């Protein structure tokens, strides 16, 4: 299924920005993990819908960590992880802070939840594309996890 269609489908099922991003990564790896998707909801809406840092940015950082992070006691974190997250954060700020006056959900939505349907799909899509670019540029195979 086309990535954009998949994102629209999961969004129509009520999943939020951070959850959509992790679902895309899990899909690419041929995996399911309801516990992880459930946990990602805590980042939605700017950390529990507090309006803080956009869940697309924090979800994107988590998606990078899905590929490069540490998950087992005998496993190491990939040395490129924090560099990729820093690149993502810098890109996100350049891409969206100039448009919306910041990278917090309340700024992006201009304190009006009605802006969500117009702004968030593009932000999530662009963030997913940027995460994929960072992973591919650093030699990760999107179809494989750790």
Q: Who wins on pLDDT, 129 or 50?
A: 129
Any domain includes 65: yes
Mean residue pLDDT across the chain = 92
Contact 65, 72 (CB under 8 A): no
Any domain includes 142: no
pLDDT in tens, 23-39: 999 999 999 999 999 99
Is the C-alpha dihedral spanning 27, 29, 35, 37 positive or negative?
Answer: negative
Any domain includes 145: no
Any domain includes 123: yes
Q: Answer whether 0.85 is exceeded by the pTM.
A: yes
pLDDT bucket at 105, cuts 50 / 70 / 90? confident
Angle, CA of 45, 94 and 89, to the nearest 5°: 55
Could you give the CA distance from residue 50 to residue 46 in angstroms, rounded to a whole number?
6
Any domain includes 95: yes
- Domain of residue 59, residue span: 3-137
Contact 94, 127 (CB under 8 A): no
Q: Which pLDDT score, from 0 to 100, does residue 1 have?
A: 57
- Which DSSP string corresponds to 90-124? HHHIIIIIHHHSSSBHHHHTTT-GGGHHHHHHHHH
Any domain includes 41: yes
Closest CA relative to residue 81, chosen from 140, 123, 22: 140
Any domain includes 144: no
User: What is the arithmetic mean of pLDDT over 107-131?
Assistant: 87
Closest CA relative to residue 54, chosen from 64, 62, 42, 43: 43
Look at the chain and report how many structural domains it folds into. 1
Any domain includes 146: no
């Amino acid at each position: 299924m086309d990535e954009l269609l998949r994102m629209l489908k999961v969004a129509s099922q009520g999943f939020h920005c951070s959850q959509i991003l992790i679902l895309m990564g899990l899909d690419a790896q041929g995996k399911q993990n309801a516990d992880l998707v459930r946990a990602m909801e805590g980042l939605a809406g700017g950390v529990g819908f507090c309006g803080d840092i956009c869940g697309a940015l924090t979800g994107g950082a988590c998606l990078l960590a899905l590929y490069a992070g540490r998950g087992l006691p005998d496993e190491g974190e990939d040395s490129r992880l924090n560099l990729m997250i820093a690149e993502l954060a810098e890109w996100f700020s350049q891409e969206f802070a100039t448009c919306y006056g910041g990278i917090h959900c309340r700024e992006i939505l201009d304190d009006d939840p009605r802006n969500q349907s117009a702004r968030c799909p593009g932000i999530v899509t662009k963030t997913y594309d940027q995460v994929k670019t960072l992973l591919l540029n650093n030699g990760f195979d999107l179809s494989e996890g750790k």
